[in-house]
C-alpha cells in the first residue's frame, strides 16, 4: 500500500514507513497456494491530504518557529492570577469564524 503525502518531506513521513510495511506483511496473502498464484495483484491504495489540511499544516509549521515572548507570558499569567485578565469574546468569535473559513 502506498501513501502519498503531498507537501511532506520524506523525513516527516519516514517514522511511519516501517509500521505500514510490517502491517502489510502480516496481512499479505499466502502465495504458496495454487489459488493465490492465479490472482492478480491488488491495486495500491493512495491517500491525498486536502488543500485545507495542507494550508493548516503550513501555517502551524510556520508558527512553530515563532519565538515566545516570555515577558508577555508572565504578564498574562499575572493578570489571570490576580483576576484582571479580560476575555474578548468578540475577538474569540471572529477568530473561530476565520478558522472555520479555512476548513471549508
3-state secondary structure 39-92: CCCCCCCCCCCCHHHHHHHHHHHHHCCCCCCHHHHHHHHHHHHHCCCCCCHHHH
Mean pLDDT by 10 residues, the chain (104 residues): 60 50 52 59 83 83 72 94 94 94 83
Which secondary structure element, helix H or strand E, spans residue 1, and what is its range? Answer: none
pLDDT at 52: 85
pLDDT at 21: 46
pLDDT at 56: 83
- Give the global pTM: 0.32
Which cell goes with 49? 491530504
pLDDT at 39: 65
Assign residue 83 a region (left: φ > 0; alpha: ψ between -120 and 50; beta: otherwise): left
Amino acid at each position: 500500500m502506498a501513501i502519498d503525502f503531498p507537501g511532506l518531506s520524506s523525513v516527516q513521513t519516514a517514522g511511519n514507513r516501517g509500521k505500514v510495511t510490517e502491517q502489510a506483511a502480516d496481512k499479505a496473502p499466502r502465495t504458496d497456494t495454487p489459488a493465490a498464484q492465479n490472482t492478480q495483484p491488488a491495486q495500491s491504495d493512495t491517500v491525498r491530504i486536502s488543500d485545507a489540511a495542507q494550508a493548516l499544516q503550513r501555517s502551524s509549521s510556520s508558527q512553530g518557529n515563532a519565538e515566545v515572548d516570555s515577558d508577555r507570558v508572565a504578564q498574562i499569567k499575572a493578570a489571570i492570577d490576580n483576576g484582571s485578565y479580560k476575555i474578548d469574546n468578540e475577538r474569540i468569535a471572529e477568530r473561530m469564524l476565520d478558522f472555520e473559513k479555512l476548513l471549508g
